[in-house]
């Protein structure tokens, strides 16, 4: 399988390297990548235009910052649709707005292009290791066709429904993680104020039904040891939570707890800078503003 990767930043460069390491032929396009020499050394061919990339690729991976950019890259002038060849599949690994993903998928109806959304987690480390977790939205046959590429990029993948369901599931995941981080931050403060050993308390929690990814992974890896070096920034988390807020608003269901957590995350921008680790929200106290 020949692969094209558009967007060679922290995640996309790692994916291109993982695909090349797995023996796939890889072409990349990103006018502002900082990984050009590492990519060339690994045999990734860098090209200046989407037309050149498209001429080479059976599957086109997108790893882009926002849905606006994804729409422009796929549907805009000189973009993927304009240069499409029969049977090509676009795999959008960006964390994106599900409504935008549906718009793209409708615009591609009847075209030569297939579209699958596959947002990822695990951060740049997992992208480089080819061990990301991917939530897939799309037709089962398209996902089967992508198998050699998905094998190279992922350690775990879950097919969660039709096109855009992957992007929705990713927003639910990050919303629940965001709510949990605030709740665990409160538990840590209460334990400390009560003179309890938080590590021992969390050992207990992790043996029970209050456990979560935050208590089992984030706490020991990045929070309790003060490392705060997960590689996932406040800026990216706030982007994901803004998208989650839009998803909740469109749904119109009652979500008082989510709304309050989203407000706390938004307000925290006054004291927690965009380049801070997202786990820092556990230290955020509203009274300090
Ligand atoms: P990044 O900013 O490091 O990389 C984005 C890259 O896209 C940049 O190199 C930029 O030059 C390039 N780009 C922008 N517009 C372009 C265009 N029109 N054509 C070609 N390239 C273009 O971001 P990242 O951390 O790699 O994240 C990429 C996506 O993955 C985002 O949607 C992010 O939310 C998601 N994500 C990131 C992480 C993480 O830990 N960093 C984890 C999971 C998901």
The residue ranges of every structural domain in the chain are 2-162, 168-288
According to CATH, the superfamily of the domain at 2-162 is NAD(P)-binding Rossmann-like Domain (3.40.50.720)
Query: Does the beta carbon of 88 lie inside 6 Å of ligand 1?
Result: no
Low-confidence ranges of the chain (pLDDT < 50): none
pLDDT at residue number 123: 87
Query: Does the beta carbon of 14 lie inside 6 Å of ligand 1?
Result: no
pLDDT at residue number 78: 98
Closest Cα to atom 11, ligand 1: which residue? 32
Distance from C-alpha of 108 to C-alpha of 57, rounded to nearest angstrom: 18
Instruction: Quote the ligand 1 centre to 31 CA distance (angstroms).
Output: 12
Where helices occur in 155-217 by DSSP H, the ranges are 165-193, 198-205, 213
Specify the ligand 1 atom closest to the Cα of 123. 40
The pTM of this model reads 0.94
pLDDT at residue number 110: 95
pLDDT at residue number 231: 83
pLDDT at residue number 31: 97
Instruction: Quote the ligand 1 centre to 169 CA distance (angstroms).
Output: 19
pLDDT tens-digit readout, 129-161 = 999 999 999 999 999 999 999 999 999 999 999
Distance from C-alpha of 287 to C-alpha of 20, rounded to nearest angstrom: 50
Query: Does the beta carbon of 33 lie inside 6 Å of ligand 1?
Result: yes
Q: How far is CA 20 from CA 25, 51, 126, 145, 148, in A?
A: 6, 21, 15, 18, 12
Q: Which CATH architecture has domain 168-288?
A: Orthogonal Bundle (1.10)
Mutation probe of ligand 1 site: the residue of 8, 10, 66, 244 with most atoms within 8 A of C-beta: 10
Instruction: Quote the ligand 1 centre to 135 CA distance (angstroms).
Output: 17
pLDDT tens-digit readout, 27-65 = 999 999 999 999 999 999 999 999 999 999 999 999 999
**Four-residue CA torsion sign, 182, 186, 189, 195:** negative
Instruction: Quote the ligand 1 centre to 64 CA distance (angstroms).
Output: 4
Query: Does the beta carbon of 145 lie inside 6 Å of ligand 1?
Result: no
Query: Does the beta carbon of 170 lie inside 6 Å of ligand 1?
Result: no
Specify the ligand 1 atom closest to the Cα of 239. 34
Mutation probe of ligand 1 site: the residue of 5, 6, 12, 131 with most atoms within 8 A of C-beta: 12
Distance from C-alpha of 46 to C-alpha of 126, rounded to nearest angstrom: 22
Query: Does the beta carbon of 70 lie inside 6 Å of ligand 1?
Result: no
- Confirm if 43 and 59 have CB atoms less than 8 A apart: no
Instruction: Quote the ligand 1 centre to 11 CA distance (angstroms).
Output: 6
């Amino acid at each position: 399988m020949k692969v094209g990767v558009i967007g060679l930043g922290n995640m996309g460069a790692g994916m291109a390297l993982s695909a090349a390491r797995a023996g796939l032929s890889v072409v990349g396009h990103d006018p502002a990548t900082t990984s050009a020499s590492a990519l060339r050394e690994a045999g990734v061919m860098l090209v200046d235009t989407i037309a050149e990339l498209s001429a080479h690729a059976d599957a086109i991976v997108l790893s882009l910052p926002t849905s606006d950019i994804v729409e422009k890259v796929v549907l805009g002038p000189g973009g993927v649709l304009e240069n499409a060849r029969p049977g090509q599949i676009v795999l959008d690994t960006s964390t994106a707005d599900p409504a935008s993903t549906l718009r793209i998928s409708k615009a591609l109806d009847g075209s030569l292009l297939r579209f699958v959304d596959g947002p990822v987690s695990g951060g740049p480390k997992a992208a480089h290791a080819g061990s990301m977790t991917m939530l897939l939205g799309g037709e089962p046959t398209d996902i089967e066709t992508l198998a050699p590429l998905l094998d190279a990029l992922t350690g775990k993948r879950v097919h969660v429904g039709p096109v855009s369901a992957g992007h929705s599931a990713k927003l639910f995941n990050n919303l629940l993680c965001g709510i949990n981080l605030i709740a665990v931050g409160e538990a840590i403060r209460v334990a400390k104020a009560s003179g309890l050993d938080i590590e021992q308390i969390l050992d207990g929690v992790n043996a029970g039904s209050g456990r979560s990814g935050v208590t089992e992974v984030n706490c020991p890896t990045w929070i309790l040891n003060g490392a705060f070096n997960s590689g996932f920034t406040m800026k990216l988390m706030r982007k994901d939570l803004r998208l989650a807020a839009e998803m909740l608003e469109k749904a119109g269901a009652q979500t008082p707890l989510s709304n309050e957590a989203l407000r706390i995350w938004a307000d925290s921008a006054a004291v927690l800078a965009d380049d801070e680790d997202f786990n820092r929200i556990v230290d955020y106290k509203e009274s300090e503003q």
